[in-house]
Amino acid sequence: MAAVKEQILINKEYLKEYSQIPLNYNLDEVLPYAKVSELLWIKPILGEPLYDELIEQVASGDITDANSTLLLKVYPAEAIAIVYEALPFIYSHISEVGITKGKSDNSDSINLTEVDYLTKHLKAQLQARLDDLIYFLKTHLESYPLYEVQDDCCKKPEGSPFQQLYSPRKKKYNLK
């Protein structure tokens, strides 16, 4: 039985153009993180109606001029979000023997501190692109009637939203 492929907004060409991934990198390794990146970072900004409209138009190949312009604002943010979400799995590999650091024949993998630095740097770039997308949408409201301005949609979380789901909650103690 063939797996059902979920429709995403970005394609390989735009991912290569806007991400930090080298042009000769196998994008099939990071494309599985595209949908989760859209759901965590892009859809909350666009809102469900506008996101769904974009998905439908990309799937059909019939994209309006306004949405084509919007997608050119979405792609840079989405490309960085994909790299951000895929980075832990680019750094490490899950196999039958467990989780290992990736190594090639002639180079060593970066250490966890360096991965943390890259993650923070990617997150700063992602936030800048998301802010640019929000500004674009707010200044072009007449072109995007499905967009609903939400003041609380884009508060900066600590870590990715995915990390927040699986982080233990802090216990509150009453120290009297």
One-letter identity of residue 165: L
Tokens of 30: 């990071």
Per-residue pLDDT of the chain (176 residues; tens, 9 = 90+): 555 678 999 999 999 999 988 888 888 888 999 999 999 999 999 999 999 999 999 999 999 999 999 999 999 999 999 999 988 877 776 666 666 666 555 556 667 787 788 889 899 999 999 999 999 999 999 999 999 887 655 444 455 554 444 444 444 545 44
Answer positive or negative: Cα dihedral of 171, 87, 118, 47: negative
Integer Cα distance of 84 and 33 in angstroms: 9
The whole-number pLDDT of residue 43 equals: 96
Contacts of 2 (CB under 8 A, 6+ apart): none
One-letter identity of residue 58: V
